[in-house]
A and B are shown apart, each in its own frame.
Chain A
Amino acid sequence: MASLKDLRNRISTVKSTQKITSAMKMVAASRLRRAQEQAERSRPFAMRMERMLASLARSAAVAGQGPRLMVGTGHDQVHLLVVVTSDRGLCGGFNASITRETRRQIRTLQQQGKTVRLMIVGRKGRDNLRRDYNSLIFHTITDLGGRIDFSLADRISDRLLAAFDAGEFDVCTVIYNRFKSAISQVVTVQQLIPLPPVEPAEGEGAVAADGGKAVYEFEPDEEAILRELLPRNLSVQVFKALLESSASEQGARMTAMDNATRNAGEMINGLTLLYNRTRQAAITKELIEIISGAEAL
């Protein structure tokens, strides 16, 4: 049986752990709010870009061909997976679920005889995947820091474009956690190159509402605009994935730390009860010893 001193030590350890986890929870909560706001603010741009792309794609589809970013290289032999994870741990199943999905994708693609290459964002994903797939990794980006700005997304997409132009891959897919709520993040697999046809979602109705089925004039021309717009769109999509992932990370961490704090509380209650019982038992024992000693006289 643990001595009273041991129990006291245990309790104080758990208490300080609880302090840390609850502080981490608070920090995650405030970061989550910031990340969510950032994601919110970036949405108008992405929305309008999609609208523009949709109307461009409509007229380019008539022409029957588009730039390579849209129609692809004509092969799908080499797949590049962009895996978005976090730099830090202690966020529940956040990184585990991403790497699990990545492994699944790699296995399926390899079974089909495709070549897979990896580009990893975030230290945790690198550490996890490097064990089995070190040879596939072609680029990693770590130390994202707290803030995600557009220039980071730009750097990633520049890197992707350079590799694409050099013919290093045919298909590019990004795997990230989409933020649904603080307690639920959805692993999302999204193809970036070639760009899947844009669904003019609510756009169709909106276009009809303002100015009828607008037939756009293009300046300079469709081709030139698409050539500029598609790389931009790639950055925007990467940016979106990064933002969603960072909001998810904070959400996951908040939930994980909330659970940890609650568990620590339960543990403290249990240990305190045990401590009090043990103390009482010791007192009772001493009393019995004294009384029976006195009776023996």
Chain B
Amino acid sequence: MAETLEFELVSPEKLLMQRSVEMVVVPGAEGNFAAMRGHAPVISTLRPGVIDVYDKRPEIADRIFVAGGFAEVTANRCTVLAEEAVPLSDLDSGALDQAIRDLAEDVTDAKEATARVAAEKALNVAKAKRAALRR
């Protein structure tokens, strides 16, 4: 067995996942990066995207969508602080298409600037979810 990395996925409301994995691929703000044991210490922001967890390469054990957050990688640990995290298998493309349509309407209907920004943010997240499913 290859050397493992401690992977932790935490949301504000609870600790979602904590286990030893071989590799995780994280959607960093400046591009995806893979974290394995011995990775140089990095702190990065995340963009909406998918975290791929590899218990043993090349199979992907878990695919989790995150709406954003932060990742901290050290030589033997990878911590992801996620704002919203959903297993990819729980996403439904039909419902998402509907949500994207609704949110696009919200964006055009929004009267206040703050409401529009919030709606746009939600729309981007929904679009990213959709894109993640297509891949």
Binding site for B on A (CB under 8 A): 38, 41-42, 44-45, 48-49, 51-52, 55-56, 149-150, 153, 162, 210-211, 214-220, 224-225, 228-229, 232, 235-236, 239
B89 contacts the other chain (CB 8 A): no
List 24 interface pairs A-B (beta carbons < 8 Å), by A numbering. Answer: A41-B14, A42-B12, A44-B15, A45-B11, A45-B13, A48-B79, A52-B70, A52-B81, A150-B11, A150-B12, A210-B74, A210-B75, A210-B76, A210-B77, A211-B41, A214-B75, A217-B40, A217-B43, A219-B42, A225-B43, A225-B44, A225-B45, A229-B70, A232-B70
> Are A219 and B30 in contact, CB atoms less than 8 angstroms apart?
yes
Binding site for A on B (CB under 8 A): 8, 10-15, 28-30, 40-45, 70, 72, 74-77, 79, 81, 83, 114
The listed residue (B12, B28, B76) touching A236 by CB distance below 8 A is: B12
Given A217-B40, A218-B42, A235-B12 contact (CB < 8 Å): yes
| Whole-angstrom CA separation of A252 from B10 in the bound complex | 30
Contacts A42-B14, A45-B13, A45-B14 known; list 6 others, CB within 8 Å. Answer: A38-B13, A41-B15, A48-B8, A150-B13, A225-B44, A232-B81
> Are A52 and B43 in contact, CB atoms less than 8 angstroms apart?
yes
Quick one: closest B residue to A239, CB to CB? B12
> Are A48 and B10 in contact, CB atoms less than 8 angstroms apart?
yes
> Are B76 and A211 in contact, CB atoms less than 8 angstroms apart?
yes
By secondary structure, the A interface counts as helix
CB distance from B88 to the nearest CB of A (A): 22
CB distance from A101 to the nearest CB of B (A): 27
| Whole-angstrom CA separation of A228 from B43 in the bound complex | 12
CB distance from B104 to the nearest CB of A (A): 22
| Whole-angstrom CA separation of A217 from B11 in the bound complex | 23
| Whole-angstrom CA separation of A44 from B18 in the bound complex | 11
A residues less than 8 Å from B43 (CB atoms): 52, 55-56, 216-219, 225
B residues less than 8 Å from A45 (CB atoms): 10-15, 81
A residues less than 8 Å from B74 (CB atoms): 210-211, 214
Quick one: closest B residue to A227, CB to CB? B45
> Are A149 and B13 in contact, CB atoms less than 8 angstroms apart?
yes
| Whole-angstrom CA separation of A239 from B11 in the bound complex | 12
> Are A224 and B45 in contact, CB atoms less than 8 angstroms apart?
yes
B residues less than 8 Å from A218 (CB atoms): 42-44
CB distance from A212 to the nearest CB of B (A): 8
Quick one: closest A residue to B118, CB to CB? A158
B residues less than 8 Å from A225 (CB atoms): 43-45, 70
Quick one: closest B residue to A240, CB to CB? B12
Taking each of A153, A228, A235, A236, which has the highest tally of chain B beta carbons within 10 Å of its own beta carbon? A228
Quick one: closest A residue to B79, CB to CB? A48
A residues less than 8 Å from B15 (CB atoms): 41, 44-45
> Are A219 and B29 in contact, CB atoms less than 8 angstroms apart?
yes
| Whole-angstrom CA separation of A49 from B40 in the bound complex | 19
| Whole-angstrom CA separation of A82 from B39 in the bound complex | 42
> Are B12 and A220 in contact, CB atoms less than 8 angstroms apart?
no
B residues less than 8 Å from A49 (CB atoms): 70, 81
| Whole-angstrom CA separation of A219 from B8 in the bound complex | 19
